[in-house]
Each structure stands twice: as structure tokens, then as C-alpha cells.
Structure 1
Amino acid sequence: MPSSADPSIDTITEGGRVTQVGEGQEAEETAPPVMTFGAPTAGEILAERYELVEHINNDSAGRLVWRGVDVVLRRPVAVVLRYPGGDSATEMLQAAVAASRVIHPNLVGVYDAIDEADRAYVVREWVDGQSLRELVTTDGALDPARATAIGNAVASALAAVHATGMVHGNVHPGTVMLSDEGRVVLADARTDGADSQENDIRAVGGILYFALTGYWPHGEAPLHGATAGHGRAAIPDAVRDATGGIAAPRQVRAGVPAYLDDLTMDLLDPEIAPPSSEVLAAELGRLDIPADEHFLAQAGPLRFSADTDEEPSPLAAAGGRKVALGIAGLLAVALVGLLIGISALGGGDDKDPKTEPVARPSNSAPAGDTTSAAPIRKLAVEDVRIIDPDSKVRDELDDAEKVIDGSEDEGWETQTYKTANFGNFKRGMGVWLDLGSPHTVKSVRAVLSASGASARLYTGSNDPGSSSAGDKALVAEYLKSPIGEVPAAGGTTMTFSNGFDPDKKYRYLLFWLTELPENDRGYKIGVQEITVQGS
């Protein structure tokens, strides 16, 4: 009688999957040939449950891949057989046991692993479709939106694998499968312990590069024009310069957005530490915007690139890199002079301007007009929350109320990041303010815990609600409506006072942080207090 593989088998790093299109695990050149005597025939039922229907092919490790049917549950399955079983099949069975423990929509499901001594086989989900290698080889490079969606699916699958402490170890265009229904699944992990989670993440850069260009960037010898072969060996090598460096996707093919180009090259650069698979999945998920979600349709250009007939967003410039601060510095000097002048008009008393109403004379009223302008005062903030559209964890949302509690001693603060621009995988974070009703606004003052941060103020007309989707929609709308110039990264106080339209009323405001100052542990900032002056 056949016996199921022992679930207590000591797994080394990861689960195992095989794709039925022959694009699975790559065999080492020194691997011994797999014996196939006594091969099964169509109609045979394995383990009294799995009927073999059709021999599809052999995978790249020499194992037989069959299409079958689970006669108990009446569902199609893929059956991967190896001869003989026993010790020679241990790695395959270990991979299957580990794979069965990770359930995710972007991973091929593994149903059973059985050793019959003279043969062993793994039963897994059947996926009708083709590999990414086959698709790009046949149809050419993909458009950026589809490449992003595939990269997002692969990164999400890896996040599920990595969360268990395992490694996939076999991410390449042959193990990324695209079903006829549009599902993207990652197949055929290895258990040889030769890879790492970091290599898995860098391989996502290879997937993006291949999807965008049709070339593989990791240097395997290409078989140009080959009609046979499996895995990476049949993929053309990337275009390289005289030093061996690969050309960026935008140099190979027109139309690749700047930010997607930067992200891909950063993942492939061994000098740049990659993010975790969870953070990468969140970033690609932000960029992977369904076309039917019209309220998010403009989110992409904020990070990718600006339209040619529009002024580029500072968030889009150079993939989120620093914007030159020369002009902003001059504006800051002018702003300081303006504030000194306002202070002189205030009479020179010691009262705190953020807590006391400040009446200013109107210079615009014609002579003889008895109508006085409404006095300037501190406006009440009815609601406040933290906006974090690019995080799946969303664990930095607490203490928002401390930003408007009237005390600069306590506030809200970010976590510590590895780089100034939120680890390269966030557009930023913000504090959203609801004034309760529309008001004329004269200035917004933000007190920070440290100097050196970069931020900007925006406005909008809607409150999509507190959720990941709501934050994405809010940022997509608000970042189209900046208020004033970008202040220079200087002291601990930022004041926005030169961008408000006197003929317009404002209800919603977004204080949006884009760069963090450095401390002895990394990069972080606290927002101690935000006050709004108006009438």
C-alpha cells in the first residue's frame, strides 16, 4: 500500500512546487539522470485517488508531469512523479511538505506527497495557463502596468513564504505562472538551502526586468532563438556595457516609467540593501492600480513620472530623490522677513501667537468702507489622523490626537527608517486635518521634534475614510493641490502662509512628510503640534 510522506520530515528552508508547463526547478548540470522505467499509463489511479489523464512533459529536473483528476473531490490536479522513490526523492517530498504549510493565492497549492519506494510523486494544484517566460518569448515585453501587477503577485507570494522563515530559492520567469483567468502564481521552490530571502527579493527585480525588456539580467548563458530548454537558460542575456553592467529598462525600451525603472535597478544593485518582501509587496501593490478604480487612476504618475504638459510633481522627480532646495531656501528667507514684520505689527507683547487671536488691519478695503475683515484666530481642528498609504502593516497611526492637543511636549512620531525617504519604498506619510467646516485659512504652523525634515502642505475636498484604500484615494486627490512652495529643510518649525487663496475656503488639509532627518539610530521625525490660523 502506498504511504503518505511523513509530515515530520525535517524541512530545510522552503516549500516545493512544480509547474505543469515544464518551466519548473532547474536541474544542476551535474545532477544524475532520472530513471523512468515502469512509467505509469493513462487511466492508472495512484494512491486509490489520483487518476492519470495525460502526460504533459518532463520538468527541467527530469520528473514526469501528468495532468490528473482527484476522483474523490472531482478536481483537476498536476501529478509530478520521480523514479525511484525512497532516499532519492527526499528533497522533492520535503519541498512538498513545506509547501503545503504555506497557503496564499499567489502560490501553487500542494495537496499530497507520497512515497511508494519504487516511485514517489507530489500532487498539486493544476493551473491552466503559461509561464511568464513563454508569454514574453511569444508576445514580447509587457506593458508597465502588467509587469507591475506580476511583480506585485510574486512579491506577495514571497512575503507569505518568508513569513514562515522559509526561502523560495527558485524565482525566475519559468516559475512564474499566468493562468488563463488572470491569476499569477509562483511555483516550484527548492529545499537545497543554497539561497536566501535577500536573493528571493532581488529575483523580483529580475522578474520586473524580464517582463519590461524580454531579457534576463543575471548573466546566465543565453540560448538565442532556442525552441527547447527550460528555466533561465532559454532567456536572452541582458544588454550590457563594456564593463558588464546591464542597461536600464528605459535604455532598452521606451515608455518604461522612471520610478519603475529606478525600483527595478535598485533591486538588482548589490550595493543597495533590498527591502523586506513584505515592504516590496506593499510598494508594488500601491503601484498596481486596477483600471476600473477611477478614483485612484491618477495615483501612478505621482511616483512614476509627470505628464509632459504638466509641471512635474516633486514626488515624481528622480524616483523620489531630493529636490533642489535653492529656490525654497530663498523663499524661506523671505518668509522669515515676513514673519518678523508681522511680529512687529503685533505690538511686541509676549503672548503666544498660536493660542491668542491676532487681529490684523485690512489694507484692501477702500477708503470710507466701514466693513472690517474677520479677525485672524486659531481655528479648531475637529478631526486628525495619520495618512500612511504605502504600508500594509499600518502600525504608525497612533497618537495623532497629540498633534493638536495644544502642547509641544508630546506628539506623533514615525518609526525609525534606514534611509531619509522612508526606506525608498514610501512616498511619505502625513497628518490629515479636518477643520469641521470650510474656513478662510491664513497659515499653518507645524512644530517638529528635530530639524532637517522635508514636508509640504496640500488640500482636498473629500474624506475617503481611514483605511489603506482610503489613504491611497486621499493622497491621489490631495497631492494634486499643493499649498505654497516647498519649505527649505531647516529648523524645527515649518510655516505655510503664502499659498492660500483669500477667495477660497478650506476644510481638509494634509501635512505631508517626504524626507526624514537622521539621528544616531536611523531616520525619523516627530510632529509635536500643528496649528491653523484663519477666520
Structure 2
Amino acid sequence: MTQVGEGQEAEESAPPVMTFGAPTAGEILAERYELVEHINNDSAGRLVWRGVDVVLRRPVAVVLRYPGGDSATEMLQAAVAASRVIHPNLVGVYDAIDEDDRAYVVREWVDGQSLREQVAAEGPLDPARATAVGNAVASALAAVHATGMVHGNVHPGTAMISDEGRVVLADARTDGADSQENDVRAVGGILYFALTGHWPHHEAPLHGATAGHGRAAIPDAVRDGSGAIAAPRQVRAGVPAYLDDLTMDLLDPEIAPPSSDVLAAELARLDIPADDHFLESAGTLRFTAEPEDDRSPLAAAGGRKVAIGIAGLLAVALVGLLIGISIFGGDDKDPARKPVAQPSPTAPAVEDTTPAAAAVRKLDITDVKIIDPDSRVRDELDDADKVTDGSLDEGWDTQSYNSAKFGNFKKGMGVWIDLGAPHTVKSVQAVVSAGGATAQLFAGQGNFPHTSSGDKQLVKNYQPVGDALEQYDGTTMTFSNGFNADQKYRYLMLWITELPQKEDGSGKYKIGVQEITVQGS
């Protein structure tokens, strides 16, 4: 049985660890922690023991370093800092003691293996399990980062998997040699290793073998002639494109990574069983029409609008012709056509019981908000009111993203509107800042709390209206098909799933929604 947790990454320049006076089984430290079995030495040369807290009668792991004092300062400081963060995906730290000749940290005992050991024994993980491991590690980092601290030691040896399947992260560092950004990028390394069994960085996360543990080097990633790593899908079949893209984005130094809480939220979304997803279980949300053979240009969105417009003009012309014929009584030279009978001035007028069609008009929008279900930061919610202020000069803008699909961290974002009361809706028009966006109109019955959870419920419960506009080549999006004439609508949402590229040459993607109007009765 191996106590998961291979410990802190060793430094090449680390001084040798003194091991004279090593403890023995049955010894009790601090009159409380009984040493039961020497498990291994971690990668920094510290002794890892399985022990028992004789006061609380629970198993513990005891990590000892010889000597204590100054040489153990970083270890003890890291333990104290870690003890302040309580999270189900972090190994719990119970005690940290310095006795000068030795120092030791008492932490949670976890039966299981490190990610490195499990992949070495059983091969790469399936995509769903790899996602779950990445989610757990990112969630642990989000808890650490929320306190302002850095973990600084994320690799397959410190990502631990218990026999019950729980994933925990251990052995944070406090020497200031790392950053929160590097912590987040390390999750990309965890995902890459879990999916392929290879480490994507030139330097190994563990330095050599240590006595009693039999640690082997992690295989380096497959690389091309320039040293660039192969994507997980090139190494192993069956890796979903969205997970491949996410992993490679995290490893790309040219792409700014998200914060740990945003990454955790995205991986949590991907970690949901497929049956529970509100839309596609794949990554970025896409709305596509059913493919049709020999589809004519008029069958496309723009063609539909042209066809409807032409049909409308023909209808108006025909009605005008009939009215003209009726008014002038027809052609007297045509014996088959008789003059229109005029009502007798003494005859009672016949009441027309046919209900008049309600006039189509611009409907009032009483409330508007930005829907962002996949972000915990939620810093893109301002200026929603500018979408309905009647001016095209100002609107709501997304942030800039590294890819058209919101950097692969979101399924999409939406603009939700409330008409104040149910109405018959004929069309919704959205003026956007640039062409090339993909969007879909949704409708629903409920207004949900304006939180991440509430936004998720809203998107889950709303239904699409008509077809999506895929990479629409224009800045005025009109949604007119799909509305049920017998149904009234109050809550609508413009759901954007793909962003256009900015024209400033930055390679970033962004969109602004300048104005939304609704026509109906």
C-alpha cells in the first residue's frame, strides 16, 4: 500500500538531508503521533511514515525532515499556510512541529496512488476521468488562490487519487518561486499527462529516484523537429476536440490562461455526465440546422429573408390590384364581370364580426441583463441597459478572447430581455458591432436569479426559437422564423456562441451588442 503524496519537487541545488537518528516504528512524536510504518522517502528526501493520532484515533501521514531549524523553515511555513485552506480536494494538514534536530508535518492519510503511479500502472485515463482529475486540481487551486497564496508544486506526483476515487492536491510550496498563472498552466500539464501518459515540459517534474520508492522518470511528450509537443489527439485516439483544445491552450505560453476559479468552473461543466448537459456534451456550444442536400441560396438565413420580402411585396401588389378592381366596379366590357353592388341607403348595415388584426409595433423592453453561466468572476455584466437605450453609439461588449469560442472556457453568453408581459412576437432584431458571429434566439417562461447557478438554470430551461445564424455575415441579425402565432412570449434571450475576430490585428475575438428591438403586438 502506498501513501499517496510524493512530496515537494526537489531542487537540484537542495542541500542533502541528514537522516541520522531516524525514527523507529512504535515511537510517539509530540506525545500524540505514533509511527506505525515507514512508507517511503519523498522527492525532497523527507521520510514519509504512516502513523496514528493516539488522541483522536485516526490514521495520519507524518513527514519528517532531519535536521529541523532553518533547513525546515520552508516545509513548516508551507504546512502552516496549507492548514488555513480547507477544501475537499486539498490534503488536510493537522500539525507542524520543529524540534531542532528534526521537524515534521502531520497531515491527512489518504489510501491510494498518485496520478503518476496510477497512469504508470494502468495507462492513460479515459477523457471523462481525466476531466474529473483536472477539475479537482483546478478547484483545489481556486481555493488556494482565493487566499492570495500560490501552490507552486502541481505535478502528477502531488495529484493524488484515493481508492474511493477522491482526487486531492498535496505539498504546496511557499518559497515564492512560482505564480498563480503557473499553477493554472500546470493543470494543462496534469490533463496532458492524464490523457497521454507523457509530460509536456522538457524538465521532469520529479528528479530521479529515491530509496524505497522506485520512482521512474515520466516519459517526455512526443515532439516535432522544432520541439513543439504533439496534441493529445495526435498521441491517442478518442480524445474529444474540446478537451484537446483546452489542454493545448493552457500549455501555450502565447495564450493568457484564465484564473483558477474560471478554469475550475469550465472543467466542472465538462465534468457533468452527458445526460445532465443542457445542450451538447461537447465543448463550445454550437447551434446548427439539419443538413440538407442541394440547399439553394434562398434556403440560407439571408435567402429566407429575401424570399419572405419578395413574397410580401407580391402579396401587397395583389391586394392592391383587387382593391382597385373592387373600387372601380370591374371592366364593363367584360360580360362575365358584373358591377359591384352598392348597399342601399335605407338598408341596415351588416356588422362585420371578423376580429381586426392587431397592429404590429415595437414592443417595450422593461428589463435586460447579461447571462454568463460559465464564469465565476462575472465581470462582463455591466452596460446591459445600453442594449435597449435606443442608441447605436453605445452597447454591451464582451471581453477579448483568444478564440472565437470564448477561449474554449464558455459555451456562450447571452442578452436576456423581459417584455413586461406576454406578447405576440413577430421578430427580434439585434444590431452587433461586427459580422461573423454565431447566435441563436431562445424563449422561456421563467426569470431566474442573476447568479451563475441561476444563469445555468435559465439556459437549461429556455428553448430555441427558429434557426441559428451561423457566422452571420452582417451586423443586423433578424430572427423572424420560429415564432408560434398562437403563443405569447415575455422572456427572450439572444445567445451568442461564436465571436468575430477583431480588426485591430491582435488576433483576439470580441463582440458588442449595440441594440435589440422586438416587433409584435
TM bucket by the smaller chain?
0.7 to 0.9
User: Which residue does 1:353 correspond to in 2?
Assistant: none
1:446 to 430, 434, 452: 430
The superposition leaves residues 294-318 of structure 1 with CA deviations (integer Å, 9 ceiling, x where unpaired) of 44264422528999xx959xxxxxx
Alpha-carbon distance, 1:44 to partner = 2.0
1:296 to 257, 264, 277: 277
Alpha-carbon distance, 1:138 to partner = 1.9
The residue correspondences of 1:96-245 to structure 2 (distance < 5 A) are: 96-220=79-203, 234-245=217-228
Alpha-carbon distance, 1:45 to partner = 1.9
- CA shift in 2, pair 1:498/1:385, >3 Å: same
What is the SS of the residue equivalent to 2:469?
coil
- Structure 1 residues without counterparts, runs of 5 or longer: 1-18, 313-326, 348-359, 364-368
The residue correspondences of 1:382-397 to structure 2 (distance < 5 A) are: 384-397=368-381
Alpha-carbon distance, 1:158 to partner = 1.7
Q: 2:124, 2:195 within 8 Å by CA — same for their partners in 1?
A: yes
Aligned CA RMSD, in angstroms, stands at 4.2
Distance (whole Å) between structure 1 residues aligned to residue 212 and residue 55 of structure 2: 36
With 257-266 and 84-93 compared, the bigger mean Cα shift is at: 84-93
Alpha-carbon distance, 1:434 to partner = 5.0
User: Which residue does 2:23 correspond to in 1?
Assistant: 40
User: Which residue does 1:26 correspond to in 2?
Assistant: 9
Q: 2:444, 2:463 within 8 Å by CA — same for their partners in 1?
A: no
Instruction: Output the amino acid matched with 1:253.
Output: R
User: Which residue does 1:530 correspond to in 2?
Assistant: 516
The superposition leaves residues 394-416 of structure 1 with CA deviations (integer Å, 9 ceiling, x where unpaired) of 34446656645x64379762453
User: Which residue does 2:72 correspond to in 1?
Assistant: 89
With 175-184 and 455-464 compared, the bigger mean Cα shift is at: 455-464
What is the SS of the residue equivalent to 1:234?
coil
Distance (whole Å) between structure 2 residues aligned to residue 217 and residue 231 of structure 1: 22
The superposition leaves residues 297-356 of structure 1 with CA deviations (integer Å, 9 ceiling, x where unpaired) of 64422528999xx959xxxxxxxxxxxxxx899844874796699799999xxxxxxxxx
Alpha-carbon distance, 1:81 to partner = 0.4
User: Which residue does 1:515 correspond to in 2?
Assistant: 499
User: Which residue does 2:335 correspond to in 1?
Assistant: none
The residue correspondences of 1:6-21 to structure 2 (distance < 5 A) are: 20-21=3-4
User: Which residue does 2:453 correspond to in 1?
Assistant: 469
Alpha-carbon distance, 1:93 to partner = 1.5
Q: 1:228, 1:234 within 8 Å by CA — same for their partners in 2?
A: no
Distance (whole Å) between structure 2 residues aligned to residue 25 and residue 261 of structure 1: 28
- CA shift in 2, pair 1:91/1:311, >3 Å: farther
Distance (whole Å) between structure 2 residues aligned to residue 263 and residue 39 of structure 1: 46
Instruction: Output the amino acid matched with 1:85.
Output: G
- CA shift in 2, pair 1:296/1:200, >3 Å: same
The residue correspondences of 1:359-508 to structure 2 (distance < 5 A) are: 374-379=358-363, 384-397=368-381, 400=384, 403-404=387-388, 407-408=390-391, 413-414=396-397, 416-419=399-402, 421=404, 422-433=406-417, 440-448=424-432, 450-452=433-435, 454-461=437-444, 463=446, 465-466=448-449, 467-476=451-460, 478=462, 483-486=467-470, 488-491=472-475, 493-500=476-483, 508=491
Structure whose alpha-carbon radius of gyration is higher: 2
1:67 to 45, 50, 53: 50
The superposition leaves residues 63-86 of structure 1 with CA deviations (integer Å, 9 ceiling, x where unpaired) of 111122223333322110011111
Give the TM-score normalised by structure 1. 0.75
Q: 1:457, 1:509 within 8 Å by CA — same for their partners in 2?
A: no
Distance (whole Å) between structure 1 residues aligned to residue 283 and residue 380 of structure 2: 23
Distance (whole Å) between structure 2 residues aligned to residue 509 and residue 486 of structure 1: 19
Distance (whole Å) between structure 1 residues aligned to residue 411 and residue 446 of structure 2: 20
Q: 2:131, 2:191 within 8 Å by CA — same for their partners in 1?
A: yes
Alpha-carbon distance, 1:256 to partner = 1.1
Alpha-carbon distance, 1:129 to partner = 2.0
Q: 1:172, 1:231 within 8 Å by CA — same for their partners in 2?
A: no
The residue correspondences of 1:207-286 to structure 2 (distance < 5 A) are: 207-220=190-203, 234-286=217-269
Distance (whole Å) between structure 2 residues aligned to residue 63 and residue 527 of structure 1: 58
The superposition leaves residues 508-533 of structure 1 with CA deviations (integer Å, 9 ceiling, x where unpaired) of 43201232674989866554543322
Q: 2:285, 2:412 within 8 Å by CA — same for their partners in 1?
A: no
Percent identical residues? 72
Q: 1:99, 1:110 within 8 Å by CA — same for their partners in 2?
A: yes
Give the TM-score normalised by structure 2. 0.77
Q: 1:443, 1:497 within 8 Å by CA — same for their partners in 2?
A: yes
Q: 1:440, 1:502 within 8 Å by CA — same for their partners in 2?
A: yes
With 144-153 and 25-34 compared, the bigger mean Cα shift is at: 25-34
Distance (whole Å) between structure 1 residues aligned to residue 470 and residue 267 of structure 2: 27
The superposition leaves residues 380-434 of structure 1 with CA deviations (integer Å, 9 ceiling, x where unpaired) of 5576443211111334446656645x64379762453354644542232102345
Q: 1:456, 1:511 within 8 Å by CA — same for their partners in 2?
A: yes
Instruction: Output the amino acid matched with 2:284.
Output: R
Distance (whole Å) between structure 2 residues aligned to residue 304 and residue 418 of structure 1: 16
Distance (whole Å) between structure 2 residues aligned to residue 43 and residue 477 of structure 1: 60
Instruction: Output the amino acid matched with 2:277.
Output: L
User: Which residue does 2:344 correspond to in 1?
Assistant: none
- CA shift in 2, pair 1:22/1:111, >3 Å: closer
What is the SS of the residue equivalent to 1:240?
coil
- CA shift in 2, pair 1:305/1:239, >3 Å: farther
What is the SS of the residue equivalent to 1:96?
helix
- Structure 2 residues without counterparts, runs of 5 or longer: 292-296, 323-352
Alpha-carbon distance, 1:38 to partner = 1.7
Distance (whole Å) between structure 1 residues aligned to residue 242 and residue 395 of structure 2: 29
Q: 1:174, 1:230 within 8 Å by CA — same for their partners in 2?
A: no
What is the SS of the residue equivalent to 2:202?
coil
Distance (whole Å) between structure 1 residues aligned to residue 227 and residue 514 of structure 2: 50
The superposition leaves residues 207-233 of structure 1 with CA deviations (integer Å, 9 ceiling, x where unpaired) of 11111122221134699xx99997995
Instruction: Output the amino acid matched with 2:263.
Output: L
Q: 2:370, 2:413 within 8 Å by CA — same for their partners in 1?
A: yes
Q: 1:107, 1:185 within 8 Å by CA — same for their partners in 2?
A: yes
Instruction: Output the amino acid matched with 1:168.
Output: H
